[in-house]
Amino acid sequence: MVDLLTTPAAWPAILLERAGAEQPTDLDAATQAGAFDSLRRVIRNFGATGSIAIIGQSGLRGRGGAGYPAADKWRTAATTDAPRRYVVINGYGADPASATDRYLLEHDPFTVVEGAAIAAFAIGASEVFIAVRTEATEAIRSLTAAIGSAEDAGLVGLDVFGSGHDIRVTVRPVQGAYMLGEETVLLKALEGKRGQPEQRPPHPAERGLFGMPTVVQNVQTIAAVPWIIRNGAEAFATIGLADAPGTILIQLRTAAGDGIAEVPLGTPLREIVGLGATLPMGRSLKAILVGGPSGGILPAELLETPYAFEPLRAVGAHIGSGSVIVADDRTCIVDLARLLTRFCAGEACGKTIPCRIGTRRLTEIADRVVDGRPRPTDPQLLIDLSEDIVASALCDHERLTTLPLSTGMRYFRSELDDHILRSACPAGVCHPIAVASGAIS
């Protein structure tokens, strides 16, 4: 179990507003604290179109990584002619180093269920699937209990709030590798098929689950919805950045421990890193890995970068899984980038040749650099190969897999040159080189 980090009192709690409840699946306690008020207001007061308009005015963007405006998906799904529509909540949590979504599912399942029901009502869907990985047993238990009691109370299920609308919510445990978090793979898994990413367009909002318009939304994105309906689009839009409003969960890891925190979007990385335990005595911060295994490795000089979609992209990182990992001066950036690239290459599904072969070639080059067998042309080869891989991307995984090496080279180039030109590993991590150069005897 990961603990919550202490955050400044001035930071708003949107996603974790009710996550401190002693009994997260106690419906009475949750409804007394406001659970399902927003769903009621949406059905009785705002209507489907009005609700989509509110979400649009709030500026809510997807928290699952890409930052796509939620209301645009809802509008597309609602207006695409089809006999059925679906809402799928992506609670897979692909990154093993980040438990942010799982934390929310375990500690406030009602908010996720309510947000998903609002989305279903807004797009005219009567079926919601919440996909959770099978190992997340506590999240599955919590969700199942919450859905059961909400159904018994008529808050979801048949004829919700006497409106004539059915909104059935089901937990769907799914099991697979890293790629299962990608939305088109997840949809295939829910259909019981072998999962590989699909070319887009059409996007799932037009043609998704069983070929029907489907809104796929991350757990945190959907958990923000009841708060927005309750407090108003304007209140949400004033938190965070103008083009990335609201808050997001991060999981911070340092050598001294880790924890989850809700931070306003746009918070400088320095403040996020400052939420965690200090570095071990005598160590200094060398780099921050932002975005998970396919994230960017950023130097300490970029600590003022706002934690938000575009600012992170501009420096070669991304929000990804919400994971922020602090690396101290004992870290060899070349070795770190190699390990991350190897992980991502191993997770590529194999559908696209430049990704399947190219990411493995990247790993091999990085392997020979840390093994002390580099070629002088390796830096340029890494750059050219990464550009080719990005240019031929079928899904985001391909593009993102190049980030650890490309940011490693961009910000820590001298370390790569030390390995290649001087057969030296400044951190003393890469053994064959370090032994040869006398750094390790």
Binder among 218, 251, 323, 402 for ligand FMN (CB under 6 A): 218
Q: Which stretch binds ligand SF4 (CB under 6 A): 74-82, 118-126, 277-285, 392-400?
A: 392-400
Q: Which stretch binds ligand SF4 (CB under 6 A): 75-83, 301-309, 346-354, 422-430?
A: 346-354
Q: How many CB atoms lie within 10 A of CB 281?
A: 5
Residue 261 touching ligand FMN (CB under 6 A): no
Site string for ligand SF4, 140-179 (x = CB under 6 A): ---------------------------------------x
Q: Which does 29 bind (CB under 5 to 8 A by kind): ligand SF4, ligand FMN, none?
A: none
Q: Which stretch binds ligand FMN (CB under 6 A): 11-19, 90-98, 142-150, 300-308?
A: 90-98
Q: Which of residues 176-215 bind ligand SF4 (CB under 6 A)?
A: 179, 196-197
Find all residues with CB under 8 Å of 119, minimum gap 6, and list them. Answer: 74, 87, 125, 128, 215, 217, 222, 225
Q: How many CB atoms lie within 10 A of CB 380?
A: 10
37 and 158 in contact (C-beta within 8 Å)? no
Q: Which of residues 151-180 bind ligand FMN (CB under 6 A)?
A: 178-179
Q: Which does 221 bind (CB under 5 to 8 A by kind): ligand FMN, ligand SF4, none?
A: ligand FMN
Q: Which does 96 bind (CB under 5 to 8 A by kind): ligand FMN, ligand SF4, none?
A: none
Q: Which stretch binds ligand SF4 (CB under 6 A): 61-69, 156-164, 308-316, 393-401?
A: 393-401
Q: Which does 415 bind (CB under 5 to 8 A by kind): ligand SF4, ligand FMN, none?
A: none
Give whichever of 5 and 215 is closer to ligand FMN, judged by the CB atom. Answer: 215
Give whichever of 18 and 73 is closer to ligand FMN, judged by the CB atom. Answer: 73
SS3 for the chain, per residue?
CCCECCCCCCCCCCCCCCCCCCCCCCHHHHHHCCCCHHHHHHHHHHHHHHHHHHHHHHCCECCCCCCCEHHHHHHHHHHCCCCCCEEEEEECCCCCCCCHHHHHHHHCHHHHHHHHHHHHHHHCCCEEEEEEECCCHHHHHHHHHHHHHHHHCCCCECCHHHCCCCEEEEEEEECCCHHHHCHHHHHHHHCCCCCCCCCCCCCCCCCCHHHCCEEEEEHHHHHHHHHHHHHCHHHHHCCEECCEECEEEEEEEECCEEEEEEEECCCEHHHHHCCCCCCCCCCCEEEEEECCCCCEEEEHHHCCCECCHHHHHHCCCCCCCCEEEEEECCCCHHHHHHHHHHHHHHHCCCCCHHHHHHHHHHHHHHHHHHCCCCCCCHHHHHHHHHHHHHHCCCCHHHHHHCHHHHHHHHHCHHHHHHHHHCCCCCCCCCHHHHHHHCCCC
Give whichever of 266 and 372 is closer to ligand FMN, judged by the CB atom. Answer: 266
Q: Which does 195 bind (CB under 5 to 8 A by kind): ligand SF4, ligand FMN, none?
A: none
Site string for ligand FMN, 47-66 (x = CB under 6 A): ---------------xxxxx
Give whichever of 182 and 335 is closer to ligand SF4, judged by the CB atom. Answer: 182
Site string for ligand FMN, 367-396 (x = CB under 6 A): ----------------------------xx
Shortest distance (Å) from residue 293 CB to ligand SF4: 13
Residue 267 touching ligand FMN (CB under 6 A): no
Q: Which stretch binds ligand SF4 (CB under 6 A): 117-125, 213-221, 325-333, 345-353?
A: 345-353
Residues touching ligand SF4: how many (CB under 6 A)? Answer: 15
Determine the Cα–Cα distance for residues 234 and 80; give it in Å rounded to an integer.
28
Residues that bind ligand FMN (CB under 6 A): 62-66, 68, 90, 92-94, 178-179, 181-183, 216-218, 221, 395-397
Q: Which residues contribute to the site for ligand SF4 (CB under 6 A)?
A: 179, 196-197, 348-352, 355-356, 393-395, 397-398
